[in-house]
């Protein structure tokens, strides 16, 4: 089943996210707690809409007996369509039924998960990224949201940063870039930052990043 493409949450009203159940110390399985919470907030019509959207992925025979979100999510977990490190389908489904509040809960859950050691940039790229982020923080200014959108960051993440640091522009830029780096994991690269900067016509900042990386590579300052 194909779902609408595009960055999640763009242009939609973002409701404040509830605390994610099961995310605290000593809790039960965090993902199951999250899915239980989502299930309890779904209306009968929304469940019906989800079943319709998943007809090609699961099949009518399995879907017809499903009477709750928990039952639906259990099937998706069995098929590995939902996992702690794979929540893209769940986010698309929630976006499609216009439950931005529940989508925010999923995004919050993802942010609370510790990154896997093998899902981070190597030591060399890590140094380059930190240097590039420092330069961008110094120069990008009020264009930070435009840059982050070019990097593919979901609007819901940007709204949360905006709300957390309403009068601290430098902190907003820093938190957004660090969030992007964590979100991308091992796929975070300086080349992507430079490409996005030039795509936003922030060529001066891109030049400054390239200059800093060149200095880093040659051991100069």
Q: What is the pLDDT of residue 123?
A: 84
Query: Does residue 145 surpass a pLDDT of 60?
Result: yes
SS3 86: strand
- Higher-pLDDT residue of 8 and 185 is 185
| Average pLDDT value for residue range 142-163 | 89
C-alpha 122: how far from its chain's center?
A: 21
Say how many C-beta atoms besides its own lie within 10 A of residue 140's C-beta. Answer: 24
Query: Does residue 100 surpass a pLDDT of 50?
Result: yes
* CA-based R_g, the chain, Å: 20
Query: Does residue 74 surpass a pLDDT of 50?
Result: yes
Query: Does residue 5 surpass a pLDDT of 90?
Result: no
> In the chain, which residue ranges form alpha helices assigned H by DSSP?
30-40, 44-53, 55-58, 60-63, 69-78, 88-96, 100-112, 123-139, 144-150, 155-164, 169-184, 190-199, 203-218
Look over the chain and give the mean of its residue pLDDT values, rounded to a whole number. 84
């Amino acid at each position: 089943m194909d779902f609408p493409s595009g960055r999640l949450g763009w242009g939609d009203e973002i409701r404040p996210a509830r605390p994610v159940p099961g995310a605290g110390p000593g809790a039960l399985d965090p993902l199951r707690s999250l899915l239980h919470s989502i299930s309890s907030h779904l209306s009968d019509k929304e469940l019906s809409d989800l079943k319709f959207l998943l007809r090609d992925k699961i099949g009518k025979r399995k879907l017809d007996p499903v009477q709750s979100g928990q039952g639906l999510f259990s099937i998706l977990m069995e098929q590995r369509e939902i996992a702690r490190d794979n929540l893209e389908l769940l986010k698309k489904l929630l976006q499609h039924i216009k439950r931005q509040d529940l989508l925010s809960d999923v995004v919050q859950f993802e942010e609370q998960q510790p990154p896997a050691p093998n899902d981070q940039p190597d030591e060399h790229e890590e140094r380059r990224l930190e240097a590039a982020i420092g330069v961008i923080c110094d120069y990008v200014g009020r264009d930070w949201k435009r840059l982050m959108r070019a990097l593919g960051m979901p609007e819901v993440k940007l709204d949360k940063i905006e709300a957390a640091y309403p009068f601290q522009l430098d902190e907003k830029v820093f938190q957004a870039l660090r969030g992007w780096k964590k979100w991308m994991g091992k796929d975070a690269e300086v080349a992507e930052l430079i490409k996005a900067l030039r795509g936003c016509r922030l060529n001066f900042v891109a030049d400054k990043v390239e200059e800093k990386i060149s200095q880093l590579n040659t051991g100069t300052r």
